[in-house]
Amino acid sequence: MTVAVVLFTSDLRLHDHPPLRAALKAADEVVPLFVLDTGVHAAGFDAPNRRAFLADCLGDLDSSLRRRGGRLVVRSGPVAREVRAVAAECGAAEVHMAAGVTAYARRREERLREQLGDDGVALRVHEAVITAVAPGAVTPSGGDHFAVFTPYFRRWSQETLRKPLAAPRTVRVPDGVRGEALPDRADVAGTSPGLPAGGETAGRDRYSRWSHSGLSRYEDRHDDLAGDATSRLSPYLHFGALSPVELVHRARAHGGPGAQAFVRQVCWRDFHHQVLAARPEASREDYRTRHDRWRQEGDATDDIAAWRDGRTGYPIIDAAMRQLRHEGWMHNRARLLVAGFLTKTLYVDWRIGARHFLDLLVDGDVVNNQLNWQWVAGTGTDTRPHRVLNPLVQSRRFDPDGAYVRRWVPELRGLDGRSVHEPWRLAAVERAGLDYPDRLIDLADGLARFKHARGRD
């Protein structure tokens, strides 16, 4: 009997899973393995919302494997040590896994290659599992990555994606491989009350339901804050419970402008992955420095706390920050607004905002989070780095009736029409009845400080 190990990481699914398919082809029996990596814990990336969602994903993967005659083996510890031990226990000749992008994922791969190599076990790394197009597969002439989205999208759209692989019918797992109890979402403390259910089954259901009603209207409605009309697939993509290759195929097969706009958004994900693959330090450092002297925790303690707590006095910002805390998720337009407000109005370091997002976002990942924050802060890939989104103008445009604000800021529910976006304009006597803070800052003052800091006044 030959045995291969499949190490699952950010690819927690059975459909369209090239490492699993290759392992099943190469060996008679396969050990599907997930390691609760103490390295991820030490780096502070296993925030409660993601830990809970991960528990759902692992539970669902285990159930799907059991229906096929197998099971998921879960271990905890340093990932290389555990993979090596499992490979030795089952006498595996090969370990298959998806290629990662972050510096952490690459170090993990190197360590595995080295340590498994010492034992005579081959590491087989598969590209385009976590992204639709592998980072580095599409490059500009003379460069190692695209720094601007539109030309990347043009080239990315011309790539031929592999046909999505079906989920295997059977998975035979050797006896005697020790596993631990699966983590249980109920054991994770401090999660957001509105957190969605994780797992491949939930993700596939969500796509199917949403694609019937939401996909064709996506182009027109994706910025409607109250309409909440986007797919909400980001956590499933983050954990790889859905395959980006399969999603792009399915959306293209659906066709129409809505599907095209959706595929374009999925391409943003690949775009950021290829940037970070080429510039891993961009997870911490400015991708393009503007020589900012950002305000830090000690200089802006109260402003940062008000932003985090959704008490800035700007209803649209506060609504979004409260949605983040309640759901572990936030609408993309709202993310743009709150990130712009923190960096360009309050002139606070983008890393402080990115950290808070990573503490709460169920889809929070270093690639998309840090690079979107940099895009907004103007230190990333935005071709208009000094643009400032005015939260008032934006709220009138994307929440014209104030329904999004009223949903998340109950103190303002009694206000009608547009006054909900500008409570500071109410008569003093009306304002006094609201338990809602005054504006933290005048937008004009924030803008002047930002322009001055960037040398543009």
Footprint on this chain of ligand FAD (rule: CB under 6 A): 222, 230-234, 237-238, 262, 265-266, 268-269, 272, 332, 335-336, 339, 357, 361, 363-365, 368-369, 372-373, 376
232 or 351: CB nearest ligand FAD: 232
Residue keyed to tokens 């080295």 = 114
192 or 234: CB nearest ligand FAD: 234
Cβ atoms of 14 and 167 closer than 8 Å: yes
115 or 332: CB nearest ligand FAD: 332
Cβ atoms of 37 and 78 closer than 8 Å: yes
C-alpha span between 334 and 319 (Å, rounded): 9
241 CB-side CA count, 13 A: 30
> Whole-number minimum distance, CB 283 to ligand FAD, in Å?
11
Helix axes 257-278, 149-158, angle to 10 degrees: 110
> Whole-number minimum distance, CB 321 to ligand FAD, in Å?
12
C-alpha span between 386 and 236 (Å, rounded): 33
C-alpha span between 130 and 239 (Å, rounded): 9
> Whole-number minimum distance, CB 214 to ligand FAD, in Å?
8
> Whole-number minimum distance, CB 318 to ligand FAD, in Å?
17
8 or 329: CB nearest ligand FAD: 329
92 or 354: CB nearest ligand FAD: 354
**Please, which residues bridge with residue 94 across strands?**
4, 122
Cβ atoms of 20 and 101 closer than 8 Å: no
Comparing CA positions, the residue from 389, 227, 404, 405 lying closest to residue 315 is 405
Taking phi over 0 as left and psi of -120 to 50 as alpha, with beta for the rest, 236 belongs to alpha
82 or 363: CB nearest ligand FAD: 363
13 or 335: CB nearest ligand FAD: 335
Cβ atoms of 23 and 169 closer than 8 Å: no
> Whole-number minimum distance, CB 234 to ligand FAD, in Å?
3
Burial tier of 170 (Cβ tally within 10 Å: 0-12, 13-18, 19+): exposed
366 or 441: CB nearest ligand FAD: 366
Structure tokens that stand for 413 in this block: 């529910």
C-alpha span between 117 and 97 (Å, rounded): 15
> Whole-number minimum distance, CB 374 to ligand FAD, in Å?
9
> Whole-number minimum distance, CB 222 to ligand FAD, in Å?
5
168 or 203: CB nearest ligand FAD: 203
99 or 367: CB nearest ligand FAD: 367
> Whole-number minimum distance, CB 227 to ligand FAD, in Å?
12
Cβ atoms of 188 and 59 closer than 8 Å: no
> Whole-number minimum distance, CB 349 to ligand FAD, in Å?
13
> Whole-number minimum distance, CB 262 to ligand FAD, in Å?
6
N- to C-terminal Cα distance for the chain? 72
> Whole-number minimum distance, CB 94 to ligand FAD, in Å?
31
Give every strand in the sheet of 29-37, ordered side by side: 73-77, 29-37, 3-8, 94-98, 122-126
353 or 423: CB nearest ligand FAD: 353
C-alpha span between 346 and 300 (Å, rounded): 8
- Percent of the chain as helix, strand, coil, to the nearest 5: 50, 5, 40
Cβ atoms of 360 and 310 closer than 8 Å: no
